[in-house]
Chain A
Amino acid sequence: DAGVIQSPRHEVTEMGQEVTLRCKPISGHDYLFWYRQTMMRGLELLIYFNNNVPIDDSGMPEDRFSAKMPNASFSTLKIQPSEPRDSAVYFCASNLRGLAGPFNEQFFGPGTRLTVL
């Protein structure tokens, strides 16, 4: 398996522009997580999905952020409009919570480094 795939790896945009980050989870995984990593706040869970349904979005910072998972193999995190303080590395992770029990590890993608000028 290719692992969790994220695109783009790097994104530089100007304040006010719309940004879309993409994630392809590991095939067969039923949970997908979006994280944000900054120097100031460390790693924060933004939202997670189970079987394509958003379960907990309490970590989403504000209405400018939205996430979707239209099918089991694709998710997007959108920021509109973007602001300089959104600059961070955004990670996507997935795992499988089926027969193996509830404590499975999360498999992380390589991240998208977002810079908003």
Chain B
Amino acid sequence: AQSVTQLDSHVSVSEGTPVLLRCNYSSSYSPSLFWYVQHPNKGLQLLLKYTSAATLVKGINGFEAEFKKSETSFHLTKPSAHMSDAAEYFCVVSDPGGFKTIFGAGTRLFVKA
């Protein structure tokens, strides 16, 4: 069985400061992990994905995430927040085939000027 937990429902940062969105997962096999972003009234867009190639994954818009098997974590980070980063972020785990996807509850990121 798989599950994913996003540890914060809301995160607020100031523009130019680092972003950390936390995600823990549970999986009985080697998972595929994704981060998606959803801007208001928009569909979801893939930020990055982990598929066992490298533990540090770089995505679009300066985001990256590190897979830590010992901690069962896949936290999303960005060195410097931009106003346009304000959105909802979803951590996703899928089965090895990539078919059954389970979404976290989401973390809403607020960016203050």
Binding site for B on A (CB under 8 A): 4, 31, 33, 42-45, 48, 55-56, 91, 93, 97, 101-106, 108-111
Contacts and interface: CB of A to CB of B under 8 A. Distances in A.
A13 B87 CA distance: 29
Report, nearest first, the 5 A-B pairs whose CB atoms are least far apart: A108-B43, A43-B103, A105-B46, A103-B51, A108-B44
B69 to A, nearest CB: 17
A31 B32 CA distance: 17
B98 A102 contact: yes
Contacts of A56: 99-100
By size class, the interface of chain B is 20 to 34
B43 A109 contact: yes
A104 B99 CA distance: 10
B43 A4 contact: yes
Contacts of B104: 42
Interface string B26-63: 00000010101000011111100101000000000000
Given A108-B43, A109-B43, A110-B42, A45 B100 contact: yes
A66 B3 CA distance: 26
Q: Which of A56, A93, A105 has the most CB of B within 10 A?
A: A105
A91 B90 CA distance: 15
A56 B102 CA distance: 14
Nearest to A95: B98
B43 A43 contact: no
A20 B102 CA distance: 25
